[in-house]
Structure 1
């Protein structure tokens, strides 16, 4: 029997919880124990991260090769609209991060988007959002492998087969994704963040010293809807990392500090993206390509790509780790294999890590339109994880945890409207983004520009 009386502990309402009750009614209450429980006497401890290290993990994961497409967006819509969009999405992402963090505090048993989906939509929600998380993480790992392929190709003047570059890059990505806890990856993320920061600075200096002759840098442009929305998806997906927030917060010593990490991430990302997009687009003009480092003179391109490699590696490792961690928790939550050095636990973890990295590699080298598929995966899942579903979280919790039902929405009309608009925005990005990417795939096949699979 679930007690209907609400008890408050600090900011987050806590309800008595019956783990054996899987009814729809019980999905709307919060668990007394968090994902990993009391780890005092366990061999493997997960809840070790400070908010500072979580901020570093967030930056290493989100601020990566996605930013290299931002200047090219300015070449489609114009410098001013591109900057406005980057800043707006940074603010929007901060708002949705707040909603995600509050939902996690209200539901400490939530480890990933699949767990959150169960609370909102039951078994179907859990399976769909879990599958989406794994799929997107695998595709994102493959995206980092392609970034590494490009970097190694530039550094070696493309003397080797592109598929071989991807394989070379996949090996350290696999190794770095192997630690069972995020704490084991967090210290690697410090040089990762430094590498992408310095690489961006080197890229901006290279562009400033070597501006493209005869360039045109337009403040405003009037593209077609498809071209415009493709350029819009670049900054949208550059912020697309919120799907990892629940997993990161679950391994914090004090989850109530999570917003400090989120504020650090969004402040850094928004400021850095804005400056990088303005400077690079201004000096390289509307014709700047994606990734933008490839528009630099050879020496500067090699320097920027070479410095950025650690970030590409660690970001890919984080994504592969995330995909494996979701399934691992699904298999062994509340079991001895989660917190102990057992053969079954380590054997399963090893297999999962190998599968996630192998799938990313095969997709990256074997699917000619893989870069387009990354866009589709981002449209289908990242649009919801980073933006849309956060609105549903607030609507759900304000209804079920307040004890006031729909009256809670009327008491906070601004938050209710913002949450509804957030959900609608996620739906629009999902539908429109998928449409334009599919159209680009059709156009690529019609023009004969799609190469064969496993091409060297």
Structure 2
């Protein structure tokens, strides 16, 4: 470990004399054991209000979303038995990494997001890299949900409007729902979100069963090249990718020690629902199942399923935009009155961050012809580590500092091996995911797919960029004319 740590031999949460050496069995140096939101008595805005059932609902609303609609097509590539085994394995694996993340959070109550965790592991550089990755992935995920909403609205209206208009219509309620300062404000919206994706999935399965594809082919196992197989495997891999929000959610719990109850509920629901949905839809549609799977249904069932799923797409997009904004907001105003009080600077900054994150997601969704591929790159670079690989680093770090260093790693050899395997698996998913995504982009260029989309989206990108720039300029000019505070004092006021 690096020399940025100094420590005293004591358990997490205690205070005491600091040392300048990195001593096994002691906590990291400069360790601030204060809860990120501190004691909230008397504050206007209270963050730590969530119970574990509401956190479970938030987790399900975020993770069980449009990603599951690609699972039946994954089974079509590798076969139903290998595909279901992969889904179950990833569900169990994601539960294990959830436990590692929650344990790390309990040892480090000051951790609010992956950037904070990166600082503990790797210092200032780690904080910036992981914070950047969190914001980038959250913005891309917001854009992905806007695309899902676009597809749903186009299906309901038989594509009578232009795609940019569908996306814009969907972006407005997504922005509004992401506006609450606390996750408690979003938790109750997540209840209908979870119900909508559950009912939509059931409707999709019923529609597939009532109108099965005749002469369909269903394979028990299917031989594929590494490239083809891993493209399909990335679907279930990233269907469990939501751990980058766990620190943010647990930080707003009344009793964070109950966080694993929420994680167990999430993973149990997600794994079961994924297995049933993927198996049933694939069994009735066969190898020609589309992605998203609802597009393979008979028209009226397709419209019903997409329509019912809209609240889920909307709230999931709101959660992603909220998370990106919350990371930056807490980073800027941590330990200041603007975090907990109704101040002009606090609310103005929050509103601007929400607008920027939703605006970036919108611009990416409507203006970038290879946006779906870019989502794959972002997921490979960041989600592979946030959901899988980095959890092993958390265990190795804390077992070294809070126990007996290398001796603990040797004594707890099984857990050490699991942690190392977790890191290696995360690295493999990252590298392989990047490879298949970049190769897909090259093939799309060679097939003319990207050129066609580029010409089609050029006007949309220009319009969206112009609108976003004008809107941000208007907001900034409004701030400068209405505020009595000089601009130079804003940075000082944040502290």
Please give the per-residue CA displacement for 1:266-289, whole angstroms capped at 9, x wherever unaligned: 000000000000000000001101
SS in 1 for 2:253: coil
Post-superposition CA distance 1:22-58 (Å, at most 9, x none): 9989855753321000001100000000000000000
1:50-449 alignment runs, 5 A limit? 50-402=51-403, 404-449=404-449
The Cα of 1:411 is off from its aligned counterpart by 1.7
Counterpart Cα distance in 2 of 1:252 and 1:18: 30
Tell me the secondary structure at the aligned position of residue 14 of structure 1.
coil
Cα distance, 1:144 vs structure 2: 0.2
Q: Deviations over 1:124-147 (max 9, x none)?
A: 100000000000000000000000
Q: Using the TM superposition, give the Cα deviation of residue 401 of structure 1 relative to its aligned residue in structure 2, in angstroms.
A: 1.2
Distance 2:20 2:94 in 1: 32
In structure 2, do the counterparts of structure 1 residues 24 and 155 end up closer, same or farther at CA, with 3 Å as the change threshold?
Answer: farther
State the alpha-carbon separation in 2 of the partners of residues 168 and 196 from structure 1: 20
Q: Map Cα deviations across residues 336-383 of structure 1 (whole Å, 9 max, x no partner).
A: 000000000000000000000000000000000001100110000000
The list of structure 1 runs, each at least 4 consecutive aligned residues, that deviate by more than 4 angstroms after superposition, is 21-30
Structure-2 separation of matches of 1:329 and 1:204: 42
TM-superposed CA distance for 1:2, in Å, is 6.7
Cα distance, 1:17–1:355 mapped onto 2, change above 3 Å: farther
Match of 1:5 in 2: 9
In structure 2, how many angstroms separate the alpha carbons of the residues matched to 1:385 and 1:75? 28
Is the contact made by 1:15 and 1:30 (CA closer than 8 Å) also made in structure 2?
Answer: no
- Residue 10 (structure 1) aligns with: none
Contact persistence 1:141–1:316 (CA under 8 A): yes
- Gap runs ≥5 in structure 2: 461-495
- Tell me, in whole angstroms, the C-alpha distance in 2 between the residues paired with 1:173 and 1:220: 40
* Partner in structure 1 of residue 15 of structure 2: 16
- TM-score normalised over the length of structure 1: 0.96
Once the two structures are superposed, what CA deviation does each residue of 1:51-80 show, in whole Å capped at 9, x if it has no partner? 000000000000000000000001111111
Q: Tell me if the contact between 1:142 and 1:361 (Cα under 8 Å) persists in the aligned partners.
A: yes
- Once residues 79 and 213 of structure 2 are traced to their aligned partners in structure 1, the CA distance between those partners, rounded to angstroms, is 17
Tell me how far apart the structure 1 counterparts of residues 314 and 410 of structure 2 sit (CA, whole Å): 47
Deviation at 1:219, TM superposition (A): 1.0
> Which residue is equivalent to 2:492?
none
CA distance in 1, matches of 2:36, 2:16: 13
Report the CA distance between 1:455 and its aligned residue: 6.4
Larger Rg, first or second structure (1 or 2): 2
Once residues 98 and 445 of structure 1 are traced to their aligned partners in structure 2, the CA distance between those partners, rounded to angstroms, is 42
Tell me how far apart the structure 1 counterparts of residues 200 and 106 of structure 2 sit (CA, whole Å).
36
Asked if the contact 2:75–2:83 (Cα under 8 Å) also holds between the matched residues in 1, the reply is yes
TM-score of the two chains, using structure 2 as the length reference: 0.88
- Write the distance in 2 (CA, Å) between the matches of 1:23 and 1:113: 25
SS of residue matched to 1:416: helix
Is this contact kept in 2: 1:15–1:29, CA < 8 A?
A: no
State the secondary structure of the residue aligned to 1:97. Answer: helix
Question: Structure 1 unaligned runs (5+)?
Answer: 8-12
In structure 2, how many angstroms separate the alpha carbons of the residues matched to 1:116 and 1:22?
A: 21
Report the Cα distance in structure 2 between the residues aligned to 1:268 and 1:278, rounded to whole angstroms.
15
What is the alpha-carbon root mean square deviation over aligned residues?
1.7
Q: How many residues align?
A: 449
> Could you tell me how far apart the structure 1 residues matched to 2:165 and 2:17 are?
52
Does the CA-based 8 Å contact 2:150-2:166 persist in structure 1? yes
